[in-house]
Structure 1
Amino acid sequence: MSKRILVVDDSATMRDLLIRYLQGGDNLVAGADSGAQALDLLKTERYDVIVTDLAMPEMDGFGLIRAISELDWDPSVILLTGHDARTLQSAKELALAYSINLLGTLTKPVNKDMLLHMLSDVADTRTQGRTGTETVLAENEFMRGLMTDGLSPVFQPKISLKTGALAGAEVFARWRAPNGGYLGAGAVIKAAQEKGHMDVLTYRMLELAMQQQGRWRKQGLELALSINVASDNLRKADFADVVSGLAEQFEVEPKMVRLEVTEADLDVDVRVPLEVLSRLSLRGFGLALDDFGTGFASLMRLKTIPFDEIVVDRMFISRAAEDDTSRIILESAIELSHKLNLRCTCEGVETEEQLTIIRALGADYAQGYLLGKPMTAEEFLIWFEDYRDGVLMIPGLGT
């Protein structure tokens, strides 16, 4: 079966070589010398496969991964790099987090046979992308997995920009697929939404997260966790009691649990969510307004609901270096948070330049792939010990 393929690499020599490798079998292969040029092509053409380098000027492969996740179709992706394996692994995890249909990763110089073998899998994997979660997770499989070992939380570190210390972690959902791989948070949430089980997913994530907090405490790690809460939960008046009950069950102090709510999850009728969130705040749980800056009613939400933290949307962090408007919004959000006695977290920090900017602007916390990818509980504990002992250094943090 012929395929439409886009090769993205700023090296003309490498780009031409990859195009020659891929042109067999009636494939239609195009090239782009940057992420920005690739995006221009993707506005008018649909490609079955995107083969992209990670290290490119202007928009690098990490930025392109995010842009691909926002397309209204699901191309397969192959990632290339001439850098170390850790960079490639971070890109792989990022693609997973965005529910990208990742065929594989390759280091340069590229092995032609391995590249073509990955390409042969396109017909089998194309339905497993963001639009295909319903074919991967049947109703009974989804519910059974929720209550057994299908759902697997991962943890991304959150770092204090004032002290450099680990300040907590955000919890994300992963799903153990039948083939042994994992589906990312986007796929899990989409499946839960389509099957009407977002409330159950939230309950289960809260349970697994607090259970892990208890295990870590026994290993000497006291860690605050941030957990996303769905609108379905906020509309249930007993939700605060459920959260309190789980905290009591796993002996977790409420201050060690932070519930993140997006503005989109707060309905026009905010009466029940306001009651639920106010009760949680009264009981000592932390409340954060996620994706701050993306909606028109953010300021009103800060006025009516007792949030103690805002999380600035990654869009403004990623564009702050080259876009004056995004930098102004970012600076204003940080300044506003401090004037309202709120903490400010900047998520999606992927480069040292972005870290430098948010530190200079006075943000309190940072989170993103530069500091640490989402990790399993076992991986996270190893990461923490390496970071604590100075074995792991974060570029631009000075620690």
Structure 2
Amino acid sequence: MSLSRLHIVDDDPTIREIARRVAEAAGFEALGFDAPAPFLAAAASDPPELVLLDLAIGEQDGICVLEALAKLNSRCAIIVLSGLEDRLVGSAVRIGRSLGLQMLEPLAKPFQLHDLRARLTAAAAMVLPIRESDVQDALASHQLVPRYQPKVRLSDGAPVGCEALVRWQHPSRGLLAPSHFLPLVEAGPSITPLTYQMIERAMTDLASWRQRHPGLSVAVNVSARSLDDPEFADRVWDILARTGADPSSLTLEITETAAMADTAAVAAMLTRLRIRKVNLSLDDFGTGFSSLVELHRMPFSELKVDRAFVGTMETDRDARVIVKAIIGLAHTLGLTTVAEGVETEGAMDMLREMGCDVAQGYGIGRPMTAEAFQEWLDARAGIVAPPLARVG
């Protein structure tokens, strides 16, 4: 795999060498230049993704470099690395942005090594491309990990479970949000193996939580591509058997668009899962174009109200009407309702009055590790965790 290019433009050889080593650890192919001319020649033929730029380079300045990059229509990101006063550095950053360049937060000299590492790691998440081979490596090394967002029952505020949301614990870029990689994963062959991996990890973690909090459930998202796998239901059942999990403690969340992609095939797959007591949730309801007739034929047990409506219903009358109508429709069909994107007490009160069953969102809890979710559950229940056993 070819690495993305970082160019370091600085007349100090020590700075160039330190930056090169840190950059390569962050996943870049780093090249150093002691003057603007050779850097600009290289940038014209082999454009970098990221540039570390000193503003005072011998008898030259970095502004000429910014102007030249603009003439090259460069799309690279630029971090100004300078020991000049903040006012001059800020002025250079503004000049770069006025030229249409992507100027990142500058870094002052002298700098701490960990500050440079953090800045390059953050930049890497923005400029390094994610490839399918990277995703496959991440799957093999279990870098794609769940973060759990709590759900509570609206009638009494009791925890009922959580949703497993995938994150990438990248070895050099840190924790990556789904927006950095999930579109690529969903379009390729890795999405179904990822789904199986997430289900198994979630059910394993659930078994631990249920030791002190029986009755919890966990939801995992399923894509349309996964539903195309004729062995999907059997593979899910194998995971449940292997982990010893109660099938009714698993909810598979399926988007409205995925559910309606091939209604006959999807209905057959979902029916097999429901026969085996796995719960099925129709996710993001209201954002697709499903037929209510087809929806009625699908064996869902739960309907999730999309955050686009929940997040605006306190100030938008139309959104309130839609949310109330969706909750009423779901209950008429015998479905449990879950509102996602709940961030305020006002939204909680409004949903409670509408008869919504369950709420999820930042107002209740952000996505967290399995260990943090255990602590969150214990705190809600007033449980003091037992001390760790002494070893030896």
Compute the TM-score of the two structures, normalised by the length of structure 1: 0.66
**Bigger-Rg structure (1/2):** 2
Counterpart among 215, 219, 228 of residue 221 in structure 2: 228
Give, as a single letter, the amino acid of the residue that structure 2 aligns with 1:326: A
Q: Does 1:350 align with 2:347?
A: no
Q: Partner residue of 1:361?
A: 354
Q: By how many angstroms is 1:220 displaced?
A: 4.9
1:325-363 CA-to-partner distances (Å, cap 9, x unmatched) read 111111101111111111111001112222222122111
Q: By how many angstroms is 1:281 displaced?
A: 0.7
Q: Partner residue of 1:335?
A: 328
1:262-311 CA-to-partner distances (Å, cap 9, x unmatched) read 01213543222111101101110101100011112152342121111100
Q: Does 1:149 align with 2:152?
A: no
Give, as a single letter, the amino acid of the residue that structure 1 aligns with 2:194: L
Q: Does 1:25 align with 2:92?
A: yes
Change (3 A) 1:138 1:310: closer
Q: By how many angstroms is 1:149 displaced?
A: 2.6
SS in 1 for 2:281: strand
8 Å Cα contact 1:157-1:168 kept in structure 2 = yes
Q: Partner residue of 1:303?
A: 296
Give, as a single letter, the amino acid of the residue that structure 2 aligns with 1:182: L
Give, as a single letter, the amino acid of the residue that structure 2 aligns with 1:128: A
Q: Partner residue of 2:192?
A: 199
SS in 2 for 1:153: strand
* Cα distance in structure 2, aligned partners of 1:210 and 1:390: 22
Counterpart among 272, 282, 286 of residue 279 in structure 2: 286
Change (3 A) 1:210 1:120: closer
8 Å Cα contact 1:174-1:188 kept in structure 2 = no
Give, as a single letter, the amino acid of the residue that structure 2 aligns with 1:27: R
Q: Partner residue of 1:9?
A: none
User: Aligned pair count?
Assistant: 298
Give, as a single letter, the amino acid of the residue that structure 2 aligns with 1:158: K
* Cα distance in structure 2, aligned partners of 1:119 and 1:313: 40
Q: Partner residue of 2:13?
A: none
1:210-267 CA-to-partner distances (Å, cap 9, x unmatched) read 1212233345554200110111121122211111111111111111000100012135
Counterpart among 159, 162, 167 of residue 169 in structure 1: 162
Counterpart among 183, 186, 202 of residue 209 in structure 1: 202
Q: What is the CA RMSD across the aligned residues, in angstroms? A: 3.4
Q: Does 1:319 align with 2:309?
A: no
After TM superposition, the structure 1 = structure 2 runs for residues 269-280 of structure 1, keeping only pairs within 5 Å, are 269-280=262-273
Give, as a single letter, the amino acid of the residue that structure 1 aligns with 2:295: L
1:349-396 CA-to-partner distances (Å, cap 9, x unmatched) read 1122222221221111000011011110000011111111199xxxxx
1:52-106 CA-to-partner distances (Å, cap 9, x unmatched) read xxxxxxxxxxxxxxxxxxxxxxxx7x9xxxxxxxxxxxxxxxxxxxxxxxx9xxx
Q: By how many angstroms is 1:193 displaced?
A: 2.7
Counterpart among 118, 123, 128 of residue 125 in structure 2: 128
Give, as a single letter, the amino acid of the residue that structure 1 aligns with 2:125: Q
1:121-159 CA-to-partner distances (Å, cap 9, x unmatched) read 878745624x8551xx560x4223213331211111100
Give, as a single letter, the amino acid of the residue that structure 2 aligns with 1:245: D
* Cα distance in structure 2, aligned partners of 1:119 and 1:360: 51
After TM superposition, the structure 1 = structure 2 runs for residues 40-119 of structure 1, keeping only pairs within 5 Å, are 48=102
Give, as a single letter, the amino acid of the residue that structure 2 aligns with 1:375: M
Q: By how many angstroms is 1:199 displaced?
A: 1.0
* Cα distance in structure 2, aligned partners of 1:47 and 1:330: 43
Change (3 A) 1:343 1:144: same
* Cα distance in structure 1, aligned partners of 2:209 and 2:175: 24
Give, as a single letter, the amino acid of the residue that structure 2 aligns with 1:317: V
* Cα distance in structure 2, aligned partners of 1:185 and 1:265: 18
Structure 2 gap segments, 5+ residues each:
1-52, 54-65, 68-85, 385-392
8 Å Cα contact 1:262-1:291 kept in structure 2 = yes
* Cα distance in structure 2, aligned partners of 1:200 and 1:25: 47
SS in 2 for 1:24: helix
8 Å Cα contact 1:321-1:353 kept in structure 2 = yes
Q: By how many angstroms is 1:21 displaced?
A: 9.7
Change (3 A) 1:148 1:47: same
Give, as a single letter, the amino acid of the residue that structure 2 aligns with 1:362: G
Change (3 A) 1:29 1:326: farther
* Cα distance in structure 1, aligned partners of 2:327 and 2:299: 18
SS in 2 for 1:319: coil
Q: Partner residue of 2:369?
A: 376
Structure 1 gap segments, 5+ residues each:
4-18, 31-45, 50-75, 79-102, 104-112, 392-399
8 Å Cα contact 2:306-2:339 kept in structure 1 = yes
* Cα distance in structure 2, aligned partners of 1:216 and 1:195: 33
SS in 2 for 1:27: helix
